[in-house]
Amino acid sequence: MWPLLLPFALAGSAYSTILHAHTLVESIVSPDGWVNLGAAPAGHIIPLRIALPQANFSALEEHLYAVSDPAHKRYGAHLSKAEVEALVAPHPDSVSAVDTWLSEHGIPNSACTRSPAGDWVSVRVPVALAESMLNTTFYKWKHVEDDVELVRTTKYSLPEHLHAHIELVQPTTLFGRKKGQPAMVRSVGAPQTRAHALRSRGTITVTRSDGSTLTVDASCNVTVTIACLRQLLNIGDYRASGTNGNRIAVAGYLEEYANYEDQQIFYKDQLPEAVNSSFTYTLVNGGRNDQNFSSDTYQDNTNMQTVLGLVFPATGTYYSTGGRGPWIEDSDTDADTVPPYGAWLDFVLAQETLPQTIMTAYQSDEQTIPESYAKRVCAGFAQLGARGISLLVMSGNGGVGDANPDPRTQRCWTNDGRHKKRFLPAFPASCPFVTTVGATMHIPEVPTDVSGGGFSEYWSRPSYQDDVVSEYLTRQLRGTYAGLYNPNGRAIPDVSAQAYNFRIAEWGHLGMHGGGQESTAAFAGLVSLLNDARIEGGKPPLGFLNPFLYSAGTAAFNDITSGNAPGCGTQGFNATVGWDPITGLGTPDFGKLKDLALAL
């Protein structure tokens, strides 16, 4: 289509430029770590995503908190798909203005894809046309650490009359990269030393922060299985119904996949009654169902095995989402970048019914995501919460900045041209409309030394956190690390769970893995069981969790009071009595949470 349309489109854009003077929308300095390789090819195709203002998002946010706050009379009265879309739909004037602008550039309605509420418009255009539309120049960029290549610009403009009708256009200034996922892996079949074997025998009685005790098999201090998680989370003999409609899902991106054969190996090892059961693969935005052992399956294999191991016989879905965020896909590049949250949101928000619990374990440094784009994605997460979906994300695997112990290559610096030392929160963990999970290890539990935590630079602290976070800042930090973090920002994580030495199947073999994705999967499985109990009791699912967790729910958490996650040349934040930015409220007790959830 585009080779025939391009001459007309360029002629149209010249006409449009004469009528409508462009003014700057966004400008950034050249990002740290990226090298400009020169002008991008004129014919390279860019999938532009254009965000129209959401006319009544503030009203949606009010509804979200009303239906999520146990103290509110509307608690649990979640909105329908149609009700949510009506609140975020753009004003007709914005739709008309954007359609006219696209038409002036030779882009017909038939070439546009729109989100369910019409608040996003997507078009695929050549670089030459994008440059004319945005009055900018796109360049090829390469990252010095891993040779990731992107096509981006450092500034773009729009006709002045469109500024009220377009919030952002991407990919333009987004130079994000997915942060590495450090993992602990070794063969389960390796010979044990005598000391190792002795640690695995008997039981351990743990005294929790409220004075209660928990008895756990000593072997769980060496290898964490589903049986161990059921003990650590105090799930006891509770089993999901499997027939009441309760579902859980894992959202996967960046050519990572969940493997059916590995799932069966895991079941044979830990949950024989689940052998021959499976999960649904849902393909989004060109995603694939890749079952080759040569493919990257570590992260999402771990997630699917853990959540389904906890919730069996409830059903599960794996979302395999293709693409590379709001930017370029190129056959000659190997971009390991931010997941395409926008494409995934377009898909799931278009569905009438969804799994009640969804988790994802991908994250990037918040500062690498343009604030305007991050806030629009976060607004999409708010729509899910308003519809009664609990969304769990991990807090990160880099402590306060980066898990890399070499200070010469740590990512602990601002990318705004000042190169100032700064603790770096993760996204989407920093979005206030998701529940963010930190990572613990061992018995009794302490934080892992890479559990992500900190304070957002983009979002102010939500009211549900005010009391506990203010207490930590005034009682514990008392000015420590001043200037390295935003004390008024949304604080992460909210909660935490075990994350160390999980036994899973990978590439046809059993092995042990660890990281923030494991803790997120464990907590997501627990939430799905809570939703199961509420559905069985004739109640709606929990939906957006945080207002509940930070109020009545705090009584159901074991407070983690020692340990820290060093980074950026510091000891990082520490765990202490009460909420802290490494373990949040602590680790959950399913039995107590279930009683509280059923009483709502």
pLDDT in tens, 467-488: 999 999 999 999 999 999 999 9
For position 369, what pLDDT does the model report? 87
CATH 3.40.50.200 boundaries in the chain:
240-590
Tell me the HSE value of 408 on the side-chain side, using a 13 A CA sphere: 1
For position 329, what pLDDT does the model report? 33
CA 516 from chain center: how many Å?
A: 11
Residue 370 token pair: 């343009």
Sequence-distant (≥ 6) Cβ neighbours of residue 474 within 8 angstroms: none
Over range 136-161, report the average pLDDT: 90
What's the distance, Cα to Cα, between the start and end of the chain in Å?
56
116-130, 329-343, 393-407 — which is least confidently predicted? 329-343
Give me the residue label for tokens 């449009």: 16
- The 8-class DSSP code of residue 233 comes to T
- Tell me the Cα Rg of the chain: 24
With pLDDT > 90 as the criterion, what percentage of the chain qualifies?
A: 70
Which of the four pLDDT bands, split at 50, 70 and 90, describes residue 324? low
Sign of CA dihedral 322, 328, 332, 334: negative
Residue 165 token pair: 């009708």
Which of the four pLDDT bands, split at 50, 70 and 90, describes residue 404? low
Q: Does the pLDDT of residue 342 top 90, yes or no?
A: no
pLDDT digits (tens, 9 = 90+) for 536-595: 999 999 999 999 999 999 999 999 999 998 888 899 999 999 999 999 999 999 999 999
CA gap 32, 142 in Å, rounded: 11
Sign of CA dihedral 221, 226, 227, 231: positive
Which of the four pLDDT bands, split at 50, 70 and 90, describes residue 516? confident
Residue 30 token pair: 């050249």
Helix/strand/coil percent split, the chain, to 5: 30, 25, 45
**Average pLDDT in the chain:** 88
Q: Does the pLDDT of residue 9 top 60, yes or no?
A: no
For position 192, what pLDDT does the model report? 41
For position 528, what pLDDT does the model report? 98
How are beta strands 139-143 and 149-152 bridged, if at all?
antiparallel
Q: Does the pLDDT of residue 497 top 90, yes or no?
A: yes
Which of the four pLDDT bands, split at 50, 70 and 90, describes residue 176? low
For position 199, what pLDDT does the model report? 55
Which of the four pLDDT bands, split at 50, 70 and 90, describes residue 597? very high
Over range 504-509, report the average pLDDT: 90
DSSP string, 243-301: SSS-EEEEEE-TTB---HHHHHHHHHHH-GGGTT---EEEEETT------TTSB-HHHH
- List 123's β-bridge partners, or say none: 48
Between 81-88 and 371-386, two packed helices, what is the crossing angle to 10 degrees? Answer: 150
For position 406, what pLDDT does the model report? 55
* Superfamily holding 240-590: Peptidase S8/S53 domain (3.40.50.200)
